Structure 1
Amino acid sequence: MFASTLSGLEGFIISHGAWAVFTGSILEQIVTPIPSSLVVLGSSFIIMKGTVLSSGSLEMMFLNITLPAALGVTMGSLLYYGICYKIGTPFVERAGKYMGVSVEDLENVEKRIKESRYENLFLFAARCIPVIPSIAISLFCGMIKYNPRNYVLITFSGALVQASILGIIGWQFGSFYLTISESLSFIDNIILLIIIVAFILLIIKNKRDK
């Protein structure tokens, strides 16, 4: 799967450059089988291949990889964020009784998170760390109706940091990016499962504490 994906990705990036990175970053936020690290790691290896580390090459990476990727991640993440922002409560109203969760439970969790002094810092750190599933973050923020303006600004800022880290890794380590992508994809799935279970347990705990 990864070999064929990378083969198509390479041709697309060579033909379209920064636009390919932008488009690919949007798709990786929407299509879950695509690892969230694949586009930046692959494009940095392809675009930056043979270049020497310098201020000029760093500028090239920023304009062709980091910035387009951050914009794509931000725009792509808005889909799941928006869906959960709009239908989160109706979903809980309809399906919550089968999971032991009510709208009041969700509102209680939302209130605690919004009262936290570190909610913005947490979201920023989550967006910076490449191994945290981006889709899980988008769904959760939509579910708790995280402030849209703050969501866009922090997501973009965190995506810039993440794209810079992954871009340098893909650029400097070249052929190892496929192995890294597969490893991060596996870790993504494990962490996503942990986040979902932890969120459900938190809601159940809040319900029992009432």
Structure 2
Amino acid sequence: MILYGASLSPFVRKVGAILGEKGLDFEHKPVAPGADDPEFKQCSPFGKIPGFRDGDYCLADSSAITHYLEAKHPGTAMIPADAEARGKVLWFEEVADTVLVPPMGAIFWNRVVARLMGTEPDEAAAVNAEENTLPPVLAYLESQLADGRDYLVGDSLTLADIAVASPFKNLEYGRANIDWGAYPKLRAFVDRILARDSFARMLEADMAMIGAVA
């Protein structure tokens, strides 16, 4: 199996962690979005990351890849069979992908990626995300952990936890100004999930890139 995409992408990081949790061996090929790499483009025709190859089978999009892996390798299930739990897991993944990532992306893009690419950052967009867009999302996630639970859904790790925790590393890289005192349970949850062995490989790959702008 081959996972295409820069580890700095929370979507690539998510798939890498899912592969790790399932104990699946894979090769990581760090390519940028839109890269002119024939093998990558075969798997991701629109140039989005991650792309994924399993033998002759190609697929793109982190959610599609995760569902494929869940169906083909059901051991260490990341998506519950129970209808209500399954619905909640997919809801949290959607929140992460479409509500959490955009403001985090504004911070990360303008404080890290712009420097990597040598382009002019938009600091106002990063500050707006910190002060206005991101706090309501963090407050919602804090509320979902208010009863002291270890995981977002049920009593074991699921895709929900990996999807939600994955983007938070980009806040750290972007030196986001977040009042973590307002979100203590969320902070503890994120730290605990990102410390899992399944994230180690992608986070090590991050360091090689972040070092260029540290």
TM-score, scaled to structure 1 = 0.27
Q: Whose relative contact order is higher, 1 or 2, with alpha carbons under 8 Å and at least 6 apart?
A: 1
Higher relative helix content: 1
Give the structure with higher Rg (CA). Answer: 1
